[in-house]
Amino acid sequence: MNVTIAGSRRLPAGQAPRLLIRFLADLPDDACVLLRKGAYTEPGRFERDVENLCSILRLDWEWVVPKPTDTTVGRASVYFRDIEMVERSDLVLLFFVPEEATDGYSGTAHLMEKALAADRPVYAYSVDENGKVERVGEYDEGGVYADVVPFAG
């Protein structure tokens, strides 16, 4: 089982990963958490926090990095990385700040678009500056993951 977990760079430090502890601890032994990282940049704080949780829980995790080529340079390579992550995933969990969850477009929103286009189960969460986490959207045909994903509200 592969699970993509991604969050906005604008998330408050340490809040969203608290919601993930029980979810990650309950993943099957063969699970792998896919995290995004730039080709030339360090991962965001959220992804580093999830990486640390995975390490503590002895879960497999993998950085998925854009692979720029002559035809996919710059942002195009990031879009192709997002498509690859989603295609490899059984489940996608995404974390946004409230403004991005309702009005904004971001790289995290791009992952949501790709998950929906690929018919992958996706759950979206909003995390405000006080650390309040709410589930703000989901697509999971038949509710396959409804009982295992983090609940917030």
User: What torsion do the CA atoms of 77, 81, 82, 83 make, to the nearest 10 degrees?
Assistant: 100
Question: Which region among 6-10, 36-40, 101-105, 123-127 has the lowest average model confidence (pLDDT)?
Answer: 101-105
AA letter at 142: G
- Is residue 151, in this structure, part of any structural domain at all? no
pLDDT tens sequence across 107-127: 788 889 999 999 999 999 988
Q: What residues make up the domain containing 67?
A: 2-143
Average pLDDT taken over every residue of the chain: 87
The count of domains in the chain is: 1
Is 150 part of a structural domain of the chain? no
DSSP assignments along 6-39, one per residue: EE-TTSPTTHHHHHHHHHHHTS-TT-EEEEE--S
pLDDT above 90: percentage of residues in the chain = 49
The confidence score (pLDDT) of residue 128 equals 86
pTM of the model: 0.91
- Helix or strand (DSSP H, E) at 127: strand 122-127
Task: State residue 73's pLDDT score.
Answer: 65
**Cα 53 to the center of its chain, rounded Å:** 14
Give 65's contacts (C-beta < 8 A, 6+ positions apart): 36, 37, 38, 39, 81
Identify the CATH number of the domain in which residue 40 sits: 3.40.50.11700
pLDDT of residue 129: 84
Number of Cβ within 10 Å of residue 22's Cβ equals: 11
pLDDT band at 98 (very low <50, low <70, confident <90, very high): confident
Which is more confident, 63 or 13?
A: 63
**What confidence score (pLDDT) does residue 130 get?**
85
pLDDT of residue 59: 96
Q: In what order do the strands lie in the sheet with 60-64?
A: 60-64, 32-36, 2-7, 91-96, 122-127, 133-139
Structure confidence at residue 62 (pLDDT) = 97
Query: Most confidently modeled of 2-6, 13-17, 111-115?
Result: 2-6
pLDDT at 48: 93
> Would 148 be classed as within a structural domain?
no
CA distances from 59 to 17, 25, 62, 97, 151 (A): 15, 8, 10, 26, 21
Assigned domain for 149 exists? no
